[in-house]
């Protein structure tokens, strides 16, 4: 378990709270991610994990609390501005631009960093052409990294499920993020695909120098690769720490993992 992340925090969430009407979706959530960190967010269904992603990316604004990316305060910023600042995500229920080609899905996200605008496009200036070419090359590289370059010109919605998940990650990386939020990256994958995805996530974290925060129900995966784990239940953080501490935390066992035997078997399943 690597704990050698001592650099400046890239993502700081402080005391985030959000209520939908009378329902406290998230209460007093705090988290710090340092560069190169790989952290996990776990909890039973409806615990508020995806809501936290929505708060971090600006889909929701928190009732209370603050979010910083590096030194930049993100509160009040729109999702697109946060993407520009360096926040990228994937979705639990895949949300690709299904009608666009695989390559165009990635190129669209590359637009975040593009300089030349409409005038350049209309006049087809050399600068614009060069930039378009660079975007296409970078997008192909990303598809290569994720192992789906061979399908670049297919419609995104025609990809098999596992490849769609990979494409979502490629698209998120195209925005050149500092923080990558992965919402259930191995959901619905078979053991072999899970293995591949696990090494891919670890690879991405190193190659792209991003801090990764992942939501995952696969305990084996989370326990194995995450440096730090936060456990949520009913919007409240009930435990936070390294895998070993979480596994032995009585509150977690009671609220989430159920009886200790179940925990052991679930862990074993995931690793297998």
**Per-residue contact string for residues 189-228; x = within reach of other proteins by CB under 8 A:** ----------------------------------------
By C-beta, is 4 or 119 nearer to other proteins? 119
89-104 burial code (b ≥16 CB/10 A, e <16): bbbeebebbeeebbbb
Cβ distance to other proteins smaller for residue 15 or 157: 157
d(Cα 268, Cα 51) in Å, to the nearest integer?
29
* Three-class secondary structure of residue 264 per DSSP: helix
Tokens of 229: 């784990």
Burial of 199 (0-12, 13-18, 19+ CB in 10 A): exposed
Enumerate residues 159-188 that contact other proteins by CB under 8 A.
Answer: 171-172, 174-175
Is 121 a residue that touches other proteins (CB under 8 A)? yes
Nearer to other proteins, 73 or 124 (CB): 124
51-110: contacts with other proteins (CB under 8 A):
57-59, 78-80, 83-84, 88-89, 91, 95-100, 104, 107-109
d(CA 118, CA 36): 36
- Within 8 A by CB and 6+ apart from 28, the residues are 15, 16, 17, 65, 236, 237
Interface positions with other proteins (CB under 8 A) = 57-59, 78-80, 83-84, 88-89, 91, 95-100, 104, 107-109, 111-112, 114, 117-118, 121-122, 132, 135, 171-172, 174-175
């Amino acid at each position: 378990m690597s704990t050698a992340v001592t650099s400046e925090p890239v993502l700081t969430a402080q005391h985030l709270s959000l209520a939908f009407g009378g329902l406290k979706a998230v209460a007093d959530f705090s988290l710090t991610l340092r560069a190169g960190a790989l952290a996990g967010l776990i909890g039973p269904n409806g615990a508020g994990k995806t809501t936290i992603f929505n708060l971090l990316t600006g889909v929701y604004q928190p009732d209370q609390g603050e979010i910083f990316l590096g030194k930049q305060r993100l509160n009040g910023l729109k999702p697109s501005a946060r993407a520009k600042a360096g926040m990228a995500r994937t979705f639990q229920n895949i949300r690709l631009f299904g009608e666009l080609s695989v390559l165009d899905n990635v190129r669209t996200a590359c637009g975040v960093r593009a300089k030349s605008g409409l005038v350049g496009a209309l006049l087809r200036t050399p600068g614009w052409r060069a930039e378009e070419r660079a975007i296409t090359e970078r997008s192909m590289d990303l598809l290569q990294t994720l192992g789906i370059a061979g399908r670049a010109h297919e419609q995104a919605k025609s990809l098999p499920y596992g490849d769609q998940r990979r494409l979502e990650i490629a698209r998120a990386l195209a925005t050149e993020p500092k923080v990558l939020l992965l919402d259930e990256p191995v959901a619905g994958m078979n053991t072999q695909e899970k293995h591949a995805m696990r090494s891919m996530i670890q690879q991405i974290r190193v190659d792209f120098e991003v801090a990764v925060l992942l939501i995952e129900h696969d305990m084996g995966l989370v326990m194995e690769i995450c440096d730090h784990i936060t456990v949520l239940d009913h919007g409240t953080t009930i435990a936070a720490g390294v895998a070993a501490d979480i596994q032995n935390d009585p509150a977690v066992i009671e609220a989430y993992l159920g009886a200790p035997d179940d925990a052991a078997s679930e862990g074993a399943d995931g690793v297998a």
